[in-house]
Amino acid sequence: MCGIIGCCGVEGAAGALIKGLERLEYRGYDSAGIATISNGKFEIEKKKGRISALKNALKSHRDYAGKIGIGHTRWATHGAPNDINAHPHQSGKFALVHNGIIENYAQLKEQYLKLTNFKSETDTEVIVQLLNRLYSTSCLDAIAKTVKLLEGSFALAILCEDEPDKLYCVRQGSPLLGGVGNGIFAASDITAISDMAEIFYRMDDGEIAEITESNVNFYNFELERVEKERCEFAFEDMRTDKGNCEHFMLKEIYEEPEAIRRTVDAYLMESTIELKLEIDKPEQIYIVACGSAYHAGLVGKKILSELLKIPVTVETASEFRYSNPLLNSKTPVIIISQSGETADSLAALREAKKLGSKTISVVNVANSSIAVESDFVLYTKAGPEIAVATTKAYSAQLAALYLLAIYLAEKFKTAEQAQLDKLKKELKELNKKVSLTLDCEEQIKRLAEELKDIDHAYFIGRGLGYCAAAEGSLKLKEISYIHSEAYAAGEMKHGTISLIEKGTTVIAMNTQAELASKLQSNIDEVRARGAKVFAVTSGIDITADETIITPALHPLLQTSTQIVPIQLLSYYIAKERGCDIDKPRNLAKSVTVE
Ligand code: AGP
């Protein structure tokens, strides 16, 4: 989704902005632009398409000598992706870039800007027009007046020609952080500036930063000074190259065993799970997340309810936040998020806190909003994930949820210790089992060649197999653009089986021995109607047109190995189809708007 970078006091600011924008490319975008100030005047360039198009435009125009600037990658919400709607937007002495959505932009136009000639179709332009309109002598004053009128979420980086040595930033509901290095930087995502700054400051909602070459002052919207502590990031985790792989996604699939090992080793010492989580015995647990993180939550539900013997409800964050959930201090809420910035998940977290629940987050990005705002954070140790389609972060989320479930079951003595000891032992070996699963790659490449031209696929499974099916189906559709659906295998005959005809592709996920015969019946039912069935199974006998065998492990942990062949299959099918694997169309890595 949209990305912001800003810098002040940086030689060759345009180069630094482009470098930062390139590091934000993974978030997904459809246009990009920068503005610098040179000799007191703006130089603005923005282009539809990739950053390479912006770079070409910059080369052919001016020399961009300024030491201050702002840059943006836009993921269109209001107005088509084109040069005009791309950021930065300018009005009078102001230029700005914006992440988020201004929900009351139409009212603001009507109330304050009736006579203004708008150049773009964006909600963002309202902000810059308001700044221009409310400006008399002080930028800070105009910014404070403007942001108080805005409803919605916004992170802003603002330049003003009257103060050509200052960069202003605002955060309200969209992430933004500051960094000090050779110059001072601002970015919506640490990745953009991790190798240009050494000291970092996380902005909180309702804050304005006034940045000069040598100093940063923070204010609230009443323009009272706010003191900030620096925050730490683990930089050994920050490598973001593809290594020897053609795509980040493949590299990240190979990194899954390591992501699991690091997550498990961070909390499981010898045979003790060490979490500093203070919590009363829950009566019920809610899990809230989006997309793949929601699918990890489905797995979390199974293991938590099995070991804690209490009801566990999983909901997508976009539904949960508006569902008037019945929460109290006995109903902790677990929020799962790779980025820690997903708007719906963050809103769900805030709602849960408001209603008195203890909030536990499972997050990959240190110091992200969800991590900072939750009562307890269990970090996954997947390292930076660049491909839009999550693989290693999902696997690390599963590992974290296993740890949490076993920890709570031990704490409240809700399961046999022998069972928990066995699970812990298997958890220590999980990375090796996942590593062995990668051996199926050659078989998968052959299958991908066979399946590359299909139009539809159905994933079926029972129990944890259904959880794997849901995630597998999402993986296939998001990167290969093949229509795909996941069903609890027993549900097929209640409607969807009418879509099965000769040659329809069905992928069956088998995780639990006790459900295998039931799944087999469902496989037989679709095969009898002409479906071609590929089954992923862990040594449990399943008859299908082709089986992919994964290493056997404790049934409660089985999703961790089951998903890997499907991630690989999705990858190789997408490759066969020539798709943009790391940046699938229309998708963003971190969904920071509702
Ligand atoms: C999965 O491949 C997707 N990229 C998407 O579903 C993702 O899991 C979802 O947007 C949630 O993101 P988060 O984990 O950063 O909150």
Q: pLDDT tens across 358-385, in order? A: 999 999 998 889 999 999 999 999 999 9
Tokens describing residue 423? 């699970």
Amino acid present at 77: T
Q: Does ligand 1 come within 6 angstroms of the Cβ of 8?
A: no
CA of 530 to the centre of ligand 1 (A): 34
Residues acting as catalytic residues: 2, 589
Q: Are 305 and 312 in contact (CB under 8 A)?
A: yes
For residue 367, the model assigns a pLDDT of: 85
DSSP assignment string, 233-278: --GGG-----TT-SSHHHHHHHTHHHHHHHHHHHHEETTEE-----
For residue 225, the model assigns a pLDDT of: 97
For residue 512, the model assigns a pLDDT of: 85
CA of 294 to the centre of ligand 1 (A): 8
Q: Does ligand 1 come within 6 angstroms of the Cβ of 345?
A: yes
CB-count burial class (<10 Å; 0-12, 13-18, 19+) for 531? buried
CA of 282 to the centre of ligand 1 (A): 27
Highest-confidence segment of 70-79, 234-243, 289-298: 289-298
For residue 593, the model assigns a pLDDT of: 78
pLDDT band of residue 238 (cuts 50, 70, 90) is low
Which residue's CA is minimally distant from atom 4 of ligand 1? 389
Q: Are 167 and 70 in contact (CB under 8 A)?
A: yes
In angstroms, the CA 194 to CA 166 distance is 22
CA of 336 to the centre of ligand 1 (A): 10
pLDDT band of residue 118 (cuts 50, 70, 90) is very high
Mean pLDDT calculated for residue range 569-577: 98
Say whether pLDDT at 235 is over 70.
Answer: no
Q: Does ligand 1 come within 6 angstroms of the Cβ of 293?
A: yes
Q: Does ligand 1 come within 6 angstroms of the Cβ of 290?
A: yes
In angstroms, the CA 71 to CA 161 distance is 16
pLDDT band of residue 237 (cuts 50, 70, 90) is low
Atom of ligand 1 nearest to the CA of 591: 10
In angstroms, the CA 459 to CA 469 distance is 5
**Structure-token match 């679709």, residue found:** 526
Q: What residues have CB less than 8 Å from 121, skipping those under 6 apart?
A: 78, 79, 80, 84, 85
Q: Does ligand 1 come within 6 angstroms of the Cβ of 591?
A: yes
CA of 342 to the centre of ligand 1 (A): 8
CA of 340 to the centre of ligand 1 (A): 10
Q: Does ligand 1 come within 6 angstroms of the Cβ of 590?
A: yes
Q: Does ligand 1 come within 6 angstroms of the Cβ of 297?
A: no
pLDDT in tens, 251-290: 999 999 999 999 999 999 989 999 999 999 999 999 999 9
Q: Does ligand 1 come within 6 angstroms of the Cβ of 316?
A: no
Which residue's CA is minimally distant from atom 6 of ligand 1? 291
pLDDT in tens, 174-190: 989 999 999 999 999 88
pLDDT in tens, 131-162: 999 999 899 999 999 999 999 999 999 999 99
For residue 381, the model assigns a pLDDT of: 95
Which of 189, 191, 287, 338 is the best mutation target for the ligand 1 pocket, counting ligand atoms within 8 Å of the beta carbon and taking the most?
338
In angstroms, the CA 444 to CA 549 distance is 11
Q: Report the candidate in 492, 512, 507, 479 with the shortest Cα–Cα distance to residue 565.
A: 507
Q: Report the candidate in 341, 235, 347, 333 with the shortest Cα–Cα distance to residue 283.
A: 333
Q: Does ligand 1 come within 6 angstroms of the Cβ of 292?
A: yes
Which of 189, 249, 342, 349 is the best mutation target for the ligand 1 pocket, counting ligand atoms within 8 Å of the beta carbon and taking the most?
342
Q: Are strands 167-172 and 207-211 parallel, antiparallel or unpaired?
A: antiparallel
For the chain, the C-alpha Rg in angstroms (whole number) is: 25
Q: Does ligand 1 come within 6 angstroms of the Cβ of 389?
A: yes
Q: Which whole-number Å values give the CA distances from 574 to 305, 401, 526, 578, 585, in the listed order?
A: 36, 30, 25, 6, 12
CA of 57 to the centre of ligand 1 (A): 33
Work out the mean pLDDT of the chain and round it to a whole number: 94
Q: Are strands 505-510 and 532-537 parallel, antiparallel or unpaired?
A: parallel
- The answer, yes or no, to whether the previous bond of 311 is cis (omega within 30 of 0) is no
CA of 271 to the centre of ligand 1 (A): 32
In angstroms, the CA 33 to CA 85 distance is 10
Q: Are 170 and 149 in contact (CB under 8 A)?
A: no
Which of 26, 188, 247, 292 is the best mutation target for the ligand 1 pocket, counting ligand atoms within 8 Å of the beta carbon and taking the most?
292
Which of 388, 390, 477, 587 is the best mutation target for the ligand 1 pocket, counting ligand atoms within 8 Å of the beta carbon and taking the most?
390
For residue 60, the model assigns a pLDDT of: 64
Left, alpha or beta for 400 (phi > 0: left; psi -120 to 50: alpha)? alpha
pLDDT band of residue 591 (cuts 50, 70, 90) is confident
Q: Does ligand 1 come within 6 angstroms of the Cβ of 397?
A: no
Predicted TM-score of the model (pTM): 0.86
Which residue's CA is minimally distant from atom 7 of ligand 1? 291
Mean pLDDT calculated for residue range 23-48: 91
Which residue's CA is minimally distant from atom 2 of ligand 1? 389
In angstroms, the CA 335 to CA 346 distance is 8
CA of 112 to the centre of ligand 1 (A): 38
Q: Report the candidate in 284, 314, 285, 317 with the shortest Cα–Cα distance to residue 297.
A: 314
Please give the sequence-ordered ranges of beta strands (E in DSSP) within 67-141, or none if there are none: 68-74, 89-91, 94-102
